Amino acid sequence: SKNTIIAPSVLAADFANLQRDIEMINASQADWFHIDIMDGVFVPNISFGMPVLEAIAKHATKTIDVHLMIVDPDRYIKTFADLGANILTVHYEACNHLHRTLQAIKAEGMLAGVAINPHTSIDLLEDVINDIDLVCIMSVNPGFGGQSFIENTYNKVTKLKDLIIQKGANTIIEIDGGVTNKNARALVEAGADVLVAGSFVFKAENPTATIEDLKQITTI
Ligand code: DX5
Ligand code: ZN
């Protein structure tokens, strides 16, 4: 059976009660913390930066999955390693020398991820897939939580899964944006390994039970 990784996105947490929300995730069936870093340049929004991540990392007891929505991410690879990131994901669209960036992330002891925007084709990953630990398929345009899921994502998951098999890569597939209990199972059936969920978890009446629910419906 397949155990899907559930990664609540802290972007949707209550920042005035951050420790409470982190401890909720620690005690839940969630697998990872998904941390969205936005610079107001690559995406039209600014989330939070290093001091907040440092505070999160102090309390988090699970894998820290950092999603950088910033231009020129090479400048901060070492900083994020030092802050405790276990996985560092950069955007395909933000890297001129993606292959080099991936090696630099791994040299700092992290897993290397590549996120692709909804308009970016899976085909563009063909020559670099064997160097990528995780591909994050954006199922919304990055920048904001609470947007609705783009249906074309299913085609991209299928296509990426085929590419991974064809190339004999070990890459895992993460889906980010608009994930709910309505699309979670179909995404896993198409080949997803990790589901990020922000609003669906944190805006729920019972976030712990919502995580448990996502975990259950994605065990196939
Ligand atoms: C969007 C972020 C997502 C976001 C997901 O730019 O990368 O991780 O927090 O939030 P929901 O699940 O609300 O779409
Ligand atoms: Zn994200």
In order of 17, 78, 158, 162, 170, the CA distances from 165 in angstroms are: 43, 31, 11, 5, 9
Q: Does 170 have pLDDT greater than 90?
A: yes
Q: Using CA atoms, how far apart are residues 191 and 153, in angstroms rounded to an integer?
A: 11
- Computed over every residue of the chain, the mean pLDDT equals 98
* pLDDT the model gives residue 159: 98
Known binding-site residues equal 9, 34, 36, 67, 143-146, 176-178, 198-199
* pLDDT the model gives residue 54: 98
Q: Give residue-wise pLDDT tens across range 57-87.
A: 999 999 999 999 999 999 999 999 999 999 9
Q: Is 36 a catalytic residue?
A: yes
* pLDDT the model gives residue 104: 98
Q: Using CA atoms, how far apart are residues 138 and 215, in angstroms rounded to an integer?
A: 20
User: How many alpha carbons lie under 13 Å from residue 67 in its C-beta half-sphere?
Assistant: 29
DSSP 28: S
Q: Give residue-wise pLDDT tens across range 81-136.
A: 999 999 999 999 999 999 999 999 999 999 999 999 999 999 999 999 999 999 99
For residue 34, the ligand 1 atom closest to its alpha carbon is: 8
Q: Is 176 a catalytic residue?
A: yes
Q: Does 1 have pLDDT greater than 90?
A: no
Is this prediction's ipTM beyond 0.90? yes
* pLDDT the model gives residue 2: 86
Ligand 1 pocket at CB < 6 A: 9, 11-12, 34, 36, 67, 140, 142-147, 176-179, 196-200
Domains of the chain: 5-217 (3.20.20.70)
pLDDT above 70: percentage of residues in the chain: 100
